[in-house]
Every structure is written in structure tokens, then in C-alpha cells.
């Protein structure tokens, strides 16, 4: 059975370590010490490192992991390979690891080459900085249209998909969501359930996000507030509002 450990690192990042038995993979290791401490504690051997995008808070621990596990394959986005140090890295459309099939999804917008990793049988998605609980990532290198199309791609996955986002931004995102939909009971209820606690809200599910995440509720806004605009235009308006929103 596939097990996933969620490790908080740096200020608000997560690194994920999955394993079946003693064989493990790591997603977005922004800190090598945390990964090596975990795998040593549980007697795991790292066979793969999955990278969603080139930002340092997702990649800084890779060299340290490769020193310990020299045979580990580093999977990176094809169009960002030149932005990353050479670890004999691979860029692929799909992979098999720990005995399971993983589809590499192009999720551009946050960066030009950003990808996600969808475990098709287990229905798990590691989406980096594209989708967060109750929010989405900033558009740094791509366009708002690219980010919208990436979010739509995630929205098309099965509703019971478990989503592993790479940052703990949920509370701030919910404040923004409540400003957009002050009468949304699902958002209010979730806010009330977590506002007094500091525990992790990751993973989340696609089903939950469709109820609380403004960037997955564009169709509702188009129907009720912006019938004259396209969904992509509404997405861009919301993302720009979020950029300047003061929590």
C-alpha cells in the first residue's frame, strides 16, 4: 500500500515522501536534511525525486539526496531542464514508480514549464504551486490564461482525487475566498473548523476544493456575477484581486 508522509519545511513549504515497503520517492525537496532524516528513521531508500518546477524552495535538497542515493532518478519538467543543475535528470510524460503508474500533467502558469504528477490508480495529485487549498499560485512566468487552463485540467480529474499542494496557505486563502463569497456556507464552515488551529490542512480533495476554492468556482461566478465575461477573464480578475488582497 502506498503511504505518503507530509513534511513541513522552510517557512510554509511541504515536501512529500511516498513509499511502498522500503522503496520511496520524494516530491519537491526544498530541504535535504528533512528528507534524509525521515528516510533514515523509517529505513527507506529513495529511488525517485519528482520536481514540479525549478524554484529553489522545491529543489534545493536534491543534490544532498543524490549524494546519499546516487541511483535515484530525478524527474523534471522538460522545458525547465536547462534551469536546473544536472542530476542526470529525465523529462517524461509518464513513469512507473513503486509499482504504480504516474502521469505527468503540464500545468503551466506559475512557471512556464510547471508540471504535476497524477498517480492514476491511487488518484493522487502532486500539483506543486499551481493549486492550493482554497487558492492557486501566483502567475510568475506564464499567463493568466495558462494558469486558468491548468486549473481546468485539474478540475477534470476524478472528484475523489487527493491533492498534495506544496504550501500551507489555506487560512489566508480562505480569508480571500470569504471576501469573494461571503454567503458560501462551505467556506465559512471550513474556516471555522481550522481558524483556531495550526495543524496542516494538506492533503485536500478535489471535491472539497470545488466547494471552497474561488479558482475552481469560476462557472458559478460567471452565472451569478459576470455573465458578460469569459471564464478565463473572470479567472484573471480574481487572480489579480488576490495578488493585492490584504489578509
List, as residue ranges, the binding site for Zn(2+). Answer: 53, 55, 57-58, 110, 129, 167
In the set 54, 108, 114, 167, the catalytic residue is 167
Q: Which of 28, 31, 114, 129 is catalytic?
A: 129
Rg (CA), the chain: 18
Residue of 154, 112, 149, 113 lying closest to 131 (CA atoms)? 154
Q: Catalytic site residue 144?
A: no
Residue 114 catalytic? no
DSSP H helices, 157-244, are 170-180, 185-194, 206-212, 218-224, 231-243
Which of 168, 164, 139 has the alpha carbon at shortest distance from 235?
A: 139
The verdict on whether 71 is a catalytic residue reads no
Question: Going by DSSP bridges, is the β-strand pair 100-106/162-165 parallel, antiparallel, or unpaired?
Answer: unpaired
How many Å apart are CA 116 and CA 131, to the nearest integer?
10
Is 58 assigned a catalytic role? yes
Residues in the chain, total: 247
Question: If DSSP codes are grouped into helix, strand and coil, which group holds residue 88?
Answer: coil
Active site residue 55: yes
Q: Return d(Cα 160, Cα 163) in angstroms, integer.
A: 9
Q: Is 129 one of the catalytic residues?
A: yes
Give the C-alpha distances (Å, rounded to integers) separating 145 from 103, 112, 141, 222.
23, 12, 12, 16
Please report which helix (H) or strand (E) contains residue 181, including its range: none
**Which of 31, 54, 108, 110 is the catalytic position?**
110
- Binding-site annotation: residue ranges: 53, 55, 57-58, 110, 129, 167
Catalytic: which of 28, 31, 53, 54? 53
Spatial CA neighbour of 205 closest among 153, 154, 142: 154
- Active-site residue, 108 included: no
Note the Cα 220 to chain centre separation in Å.
23
Catalytic residue, candidates 31, 54, 57, 114: 57
- The residue annotated as part of the active site, out of 58, 71, 82, 197, is 58
Active site (catalytic) residues = 53, 55, 57-58, 110, 129, 167
Amino acid at each position: 500500500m502506498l503511504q505518503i508522509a507530509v513534511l513541513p519545511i522552510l517557512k510554509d513549504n511541504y515536501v512529500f515522501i511516498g513509499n511502498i515497503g522500503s522503496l520511496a520517492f520524494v516530491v519537491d525537496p526544498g530541504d535535504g536534511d528533512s528528507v534524509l532524516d525521515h528516510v533514515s528513521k523509517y529505513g527507506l531508500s529513495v529511488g525517485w525525486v519528482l520536481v514540479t518546477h525549478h524554484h529553489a524552495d522545491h529543489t534545493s535538497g536534491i543534490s544532498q539526496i543524490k549524494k546519499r542515493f546516487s541511483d535515484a532518478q530525478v524527474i523534471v519538467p522538460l522545458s525547465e531542464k536547462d534551469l536546473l543543475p544536472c542530476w542526470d535528470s529525465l523529462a517524461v510524460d509518464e513513469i512507473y514508480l513503486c509499482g504504480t503508474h504516474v502521469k505527468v500533467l503540464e500545468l503551466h502558469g506559475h512557471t512556464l514549464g510547471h508540471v504535476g504528477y497524477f498517480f492514476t490508480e491511487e488518484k493522487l495529485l502532486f500539483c506543486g504551486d499551481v493549486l492550493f487549498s482554497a487558492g492557486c499560485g501566483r502567475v510568475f512566468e506564464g499567463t493568466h490564461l495558462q494558469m486558468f487552463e491548468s486549473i481546468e485540467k485539474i478540475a477534470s480529474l476524478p472528484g475523489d482525487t487527493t491533492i498534495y499542494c506544496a504550501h500551507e496557505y489555506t487560512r489566508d486563502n480562505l480569508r480571500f475566498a470569504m471576501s469573494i463569497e461571503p454567503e458560501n456556507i462551505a467556506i465559512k464552515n471550513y474556516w471555522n473548523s481550522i481558524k483556531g488551529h495550526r495543524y496542516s490542512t494538506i492533503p485536500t480533495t478535489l471535491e472539497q476544493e470545488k466547494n471552497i476554492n474561488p479558482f475552481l468556482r469560476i462557472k458559478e461566478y460567471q452565472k451569478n456575477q459576470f455573465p458578460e465575461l469569459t471564464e478565463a477573464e473572470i479567472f484573471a480578475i480574481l487572480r489579480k484581486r488576490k495578488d493585492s488582497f490584504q489578509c
